[in-house]
Copies of this chain bind each other. A is one copy, B any other.
Amino acid sequence: MTALIDRHTVPSPASALVCRNCAAQFPLGAQHACFECFGPLEIGYDPAALARVTHDEIASGPHSLWRYAGLLPVGQNPATRVDSATGMTPLIRADRLADELGFTGPVWIKDDSANPTHSFKDRVVSVAITAARELGFERIACASTGNLANSVAAHAARVGMPSIVFIPSDLEPAKIIQTAIYGGTLIGVDGSYDDVNRLCSELAETDEFENTGFVNVNVRPYYAEGSKTLGFEVAEQLGWRLPGQIVAPMASGSLLTKVHKSFKELVAAGLVPSSSWRVFGAQSAGCSPIATAFANGWDVVQPVKPTGIAKSLNIGNPADGPYALDAVRSTGGAMASVSDDEIRAGIRLLARTTGVFAETAGGVTVAVLQKLVESGAIDTSVETVVYNTGDGLKTIDAVSEGALPTAVIPPTVKGMREAGLL
């Protein structure tokens, strides 16, 4: 692949791929590692271009993440966008959750189960496939813990592009079926997500995959920018200001890092007043390499072998771990991890108090929120946004035990009386 993002046809504010390690710069192509130091690349922007974006321009855009095209690397020309109406998901005021947890400040749930395939991955996939087409790829691929698989397969079907999706073979049945149903190629890999990811990195270098954009490998710098819209939307939905605290789940650590980046870009672009915010990260006890590094004061994240029910967060060797640590430490936030039982309780607490049915990752985040309150690490007087990244229907087995009817009766009023319900 030698294609580059053409800034003449696509008037992108992006200026270069920038190494997050050594700051070396490269043209906007299909590259994800620095040729100098092998560090990860991210998108660099022309600050003047970002500063030209206005609230009015955003408000007059579509009711989807593409309203923020002026702050993204691709999609400035509407005809180039893969737009499945992803984004602009509800920001739900959670007063009853706040009361139960003892918050005096407002608590909000940013509910990304409302996206088309019911996870935040529709954001990164919308941006990644849009970029992949600009870069000349003819097939789309990914390594996934499940939600990304669903989203890539669905978007490929939507735009009529071939897809090949790689998943650990022991994923939740709902996530396997929700990928296979779209008719693309689905490869189960006997191994962990980290094994799947390594295989995809190797395949991306083969001649047979030269025409294939792996959204989270060789298209990763573009892909990751999609998560910034989780920050942009919260700011807009709050009336163009930033919350004082955010709590986000961590798998690779990318989402949390990018929401933090989005807040910095909004301030730099003059779209929100400058304010301070603290970033909090959530992991499951079965896979907590980033939270463990935080607890021990390490700069390096030690890989682990993941276990536990929060499979969508089960990345044992998280690519963005160091950057997530930096975002949390530099803002005075904290991290915590929770057990499988606490995750289940978190799902139920969120459902009962807000009507939002989250997948296990959302249970992790709510249970960590509760733990941070109990430890005093989070300030209950400060406005807090909690990210729910996926849907309870995808991990239904996690809460099936005990989720039964209150009673089963014959279809008569007498039956109601005999069951003590009248």
| Residues of chain A at the chain B interface (Cβ within 8 Å) | 63, 84-85, 88, 90, 92, 96, 111, 114, 116-118, 154-158, 160, 167, 169, 173-174, 176-178, 180-183, 185-191, 195-196, 198-199, 202-203, 206, 208, 347-348, 351-357, 391-394, 396, 399-400, 403-413, 415-416, 421-422
Contacts and interface: CB of A to CB of B under 8 A. Distances in A.
Nearest to A94: B158
Contact of A198 (B158, B176, B354, B411): B411
29 contacts: A84-B90, A84-B355, A85-B90, A92-B158, A154-B357, A156-B355, A157-B355, A167-B405, A177-B399, A178-B392, A180-B403, A181-B351, A182-B352, A183-B352, A186-B405, A187-B406, A187-B409, A188-B405, A188-B407, A189-B409, A190-B408, A190-B411, A191-B410, A191-B411, A195-B411, A198-B411, A199-B416, A208-B422, A393-B393
Given A189-B409, A406-B185, A158 B355 contact: yes
The 6 closest A-B pairs by CB, nearest first: A158-B355, A195-B411, A188-B405, A191-B411, A183-B352, A188-B408
B63 A157 contact: no
Contact of A400 (B88, B173, B393): B173
A394 B393 CA distance: 7
A199 B412 contact: yes
Given A198-B411, A396-B173, A357 B186 contact: no
A190 B409 contact: yes
B351 A177 contact: no
B392 A181 contact: yes
B405 A176 contact: yes
A391 B155 CA distance: 16
B176 A404 contact: yes
A117 B90 CA distance: 13
Given A177-B403, A187-B407, A411-B191, A182 B355 contact: yes
